Chains A and B, each alone.
Chain A
Amino acid sequence: MMKTPLLSVIALIAVLSPPAAAQTPAPRAAGAPKELRVGIVTLLSGPASSTFGIPAKKAADAWVEKINDEGGIGGVKIVPVLTDEAGPGDKVVAEFRRLAADEKVDLVIGYISSANCVAVPAVAEELKVLTVLFDCGTTRVFEEAKYKYVFRTAAHTGIDGIGAARYLLAAKPDVKTIAGLNQDYAWGRDSWEIFSRALRKLKPDVQVVETLWPKLFQGDLSAEISKLLTAKPDVIFHSLWGTDLASVNSQGRVRGLFRQSLVIHNNSAFLFKEFRDLPDGFVVGFRGTHWPDVPDPARNPLQKEFIERCTKKFGEPCGSPHGSYHMVQALQGVKTAYEKAIKATGRWPSVDDVVKAFEYLEFDSPSGRIAMGVGGGHQAIEDSLYGTVKLDPQRNQNVLSSVRVFPAKCVNPPDGVKTLDWIDQGFRGAQCP
């Protein structure tokens, strides 16, 4: 039977047309604005910028581009308004007000520093600006207060310490003595408190033989390493970052610290290129499944796309997994919440509609499925990932071995329970494999 010319033309168009998703923009919601202005606040200067802030900015560049390529949110393109988070708290709060009043942003995604995550929410509530905290770790935000317009789409630091304790007991069940090496400010103190309390709850006979508190960015840790070498603990836990992380790796390796004790680090505050130089046997943890192999890109298309987009745009993955993955989680959370609100209302949603949609939301991300599971639906929970750095002699490069992923409900307290209370209560209701 002969094909008619019309059928041939239709067939040709069908063959030559790209997939519909890439071609057809998302339908524009009724009453939608011309653009969605999103304040992006991250550390663009200062010592934390290279390992946290800039990777987050790169991730925002890549992912906003992806969302806009696909038609935006509800047919509205995102216009990012980039702001530097560096500076004292009062300056950061003033910048937030400027974003709301002068830049007229529809929402703000931001904040790496825990101090800023504690300072900004009160102003966000006052101005009724939807604010998504994307990376800071303090448990205080939603455990000590309630907010309507504020959300955090990354897990808090509870999972760092609890995950470390669980991994340690799996890797070295006969541990008897531990020591802490943590920077002397809120992050270091909180990290040690959560880890040591969790470990002693899980294994009460563990003894703390040393706790050291170097100044933030001290750099030279010779005296601390000497002390740890004489104390000879089975395990050393630290939460150092920035120049202090590089120092303990370099100085500790030369002086045999990593041969003497199992060293465990609770937060992946290093760049991929720094990973190549980490000492063999070093245990590293991630606040969420943020690693090129975990989740498996073959099973998680967003993870595959995130790596591909960053590599295409910047010639390498978007830097430190910490800031970059958390930034994409925030963008995915916002997108999903808006789309849910549009679907529920049948029009472009008000901020209250988005807030309602955001509470207890679940959404997909390159880190896997994220649930706004605690803090009254305002605080995300994530799986905790730990692994051991191992030199692969065949490839002559470091790989992450002995990887373990602790499910979110194994390392996060239930909704309404504070992290330290949950630990003291013996992790009641924890759902561990």
Chain B
Amino acid sequence: MSAGLTFTYGVVRILNLAHGNLYALGAYMGAWLVLGWGSSAMPVLSYLLLFAAAVFIGVTAGPLIERLFLRRVYGKEEEIQILLTFSILLILEDVIKLVWGVSPLFADKPYIYMGHVRLGGVDYAGYPFLLTGIAVVTGILLWLVVTRTRFGKVLVSVITDREVSSALGVNVPRIYTLAFTLGAVFAALGGAFTAPMFSVVPGIGAEVIVVSFAVVAIGGLGSIGGAALGALLVGLARATAVHLFPELDLFAIYLIMALVLLFRPQGLFGQVQARRI
């Protein structure tokens, strides 16, 4: 989720408030598919359905949003970009209600199929280990795409300088669409695979975007490695606070964010950029 948010920002330079709705769309589509076609006789099918849901949402909603809306505000004032993505957030929130209604979708079978493992005398669900594995694999794949493929090199050139890339013959609008779509797939992947852990209800997109912003602010906007480290820090901070100071549960996350921003306003992995005048 945070990798998608920071990746999108890194390329198109728009802080996408509707990113949480892509997460929500992935969650709804995943839960809907699992409820409709998941089968206890073939548990692996449920996981494939979750993956298919994420890809479907990413490759349909991503290009649609980028081409219809975001393309019109590239390079414009940040206020306009934020207002636009906020409008998309509100529209998608209602689209979700129109398509799936307001009743919760509760598709926890993929979570239950994984059972539990006993570590240090405490039972842990197996499913979060799967999620961690998916996050690691996704991160490595993304790193490989950016550093080892032609598309990645073109992407880096567009991130570095859009105008020069365009002058060198790079189809920048196409790269933007592809990058945004990739970010949308990541968001939907996050939604689809976390859906089995809780009931999917209207409003989950707005909930998750707040923590995602904290993660990318800690890691540094535009840095995928930063997003990974930020997510790790936020998770550890929460778990530690819950165990030692339950009252400071949320405070711990934002304390870390505040400290990081105080000493490194660009985030742990963010780079200071010269402002063009």
Number of interface residues of A (CB under 8 A): 41
Decide: B102 and A49 in contact? CB cutoff 8 A: yes
**A277 CB within 8 Å of chain B:** yes
User: Are B242 and A220 touching (Cβ within 8 A)?
Assistant: no
Q: Is A50's CB under 8 angstroms from B108's CB? A: no
Contacts of B112 in A (CB 8 A): 250, 253-254
Is the CB–CB distance between B197 and A215 below 8 Å?
A: no
User: Is B202 part of the contact surface with A, judged by Cβ < 8 Å?
Assistant: yes
Cα distance A211–B111 when bound, in Å?
26
The answer on a CB contact under 8 Å between A54 and B203 is: no
Tally of contacts, chain A with chain B, CB under 8 A: 119
- The interface on chain B, measured as residues whose beta carbon lies within 8 A of the other chain's beta carbons, has a size of 38
A217 within 8 Å of B (CB atoms): yes
- Residues of chain A with a CB closer than 8 A to B201's CB: 47, 50, 242-243
The answer to whether A213 and B249 touch across the interface, beta carbons within 8 angstroms, is yes
Interface residues of B in 106-165 (CB under 8 A from A): 106, 108, 111-112, 114-116, 121-125, 127-128
Could you say which residues of chain B place their CB within 8 Å of the CB of A332?
Answer: none
Q: Which of B97, B106, B204 has the largest count of A CB atoms less than 10 A from its CB?
A: B106
Known: A220-B194, A243-B201. A255 touches B125 (CB 8 A): yes
B122 and A246 contacting across the interface, CB-CB below 8 Å: no
With A and B bound together, what is the CA distance between A267 and B128 in angstroms?
Answer: 29
Chain B nearest CB: distance from A188 CB in Å? 12
* Residue A212 CB within 8 A of the other chain: yes
B239 touches A226 (CB 8 A): yes
Contacts of A214 in B (CB 8 A): 249
For the complex formed, measure the closest distance between the CB of B94 and the CB atoms of chain A, giving whole angstroms: 8
Q: Out of B101, B196, B198, which one reaches A244, CB within 8 Å?
A: B198
How far apart are the CA atoms of A28 and B95 in the complex, in Å?
45
A222 vs B207: C-alpha distance when bound (angstroms): 17
B198 in contact with A219 (CB, 8 Å) = yes
Nearest CB in chain A: distance from B180 CB, A: 26
Whether B202 contacts A227 by the Cβ 8 Å rule is no
Q: Known contacts A212-B246, A255-B125; decide if A46 and B203 are in contact (CB<8 Å).
A: yes
Give the complex CA separation of A251 and B197 in angstroms.
Answer: 7
A interface footprint on B235-277 (CB within 8 Å = 1, 0 otherwise): 0001100110011011000000000000000000000000000
User: Nearest residue in A to B199 (C-beta to C-beta)?
Assistant: A246
Q: Which residues of chain A (392-409) have a CB below 8 Å from chain B?
A: none
Residues of A contacting B199 in the complex (Cβ-Cβ under 8 angstroms): 242-243, 245-247, 274
> How far does the alpha carbon of A222 sit from the alpha carbon of B239 in the complex, in Å?
9
Give Cα A50 to B97, complex, Å: 11
Contacts of A223 in B (CB 8 A): 238-239, 242-243
Let me know if A274 and B104 touch, CB within 8 A: yes
The residue that B207 contacts in the complex, of A49, A217, A229, A254, with Cβ under 8 A, is A217
Q: Which of A280-294 contact B (CB under 8 A)?
A: none
List B residues at the A interface (Cβ < 8 Å). Answer: 97, 101-104, 106, 108, 111-112, 114-116, 121-125, 127-128, 194, 196-204, 207, 238-239, 242-243, 246-247, 249-250
Known: A50-B101, A215-B250. 13 other contacts (CB 8 A): A45-B102, A46-B202, A211-B246, A214-B249, A224-B242, A226-B124, A226-B243, A230-B122, A243-B201, A254-B125, A254-B127, A271-B103, A277-B106
- A sample of 19 inter-chain contacts (CB < 8 A) reads A47-B202, A50-B102, A54-B103, A217-B203, A217-B204, A220-B194, A220-B197, A222-B124, A222-B125, A223-B238, A226-B124, A230-B122, A243-B201, A243-B204, A246-B199, A247-B197, A250-B196, A250-B198, A254-B127
Q: Which 3 A-B pairs have the closest CB atoms?
A: A246-B199, A247-B198, A223-B242
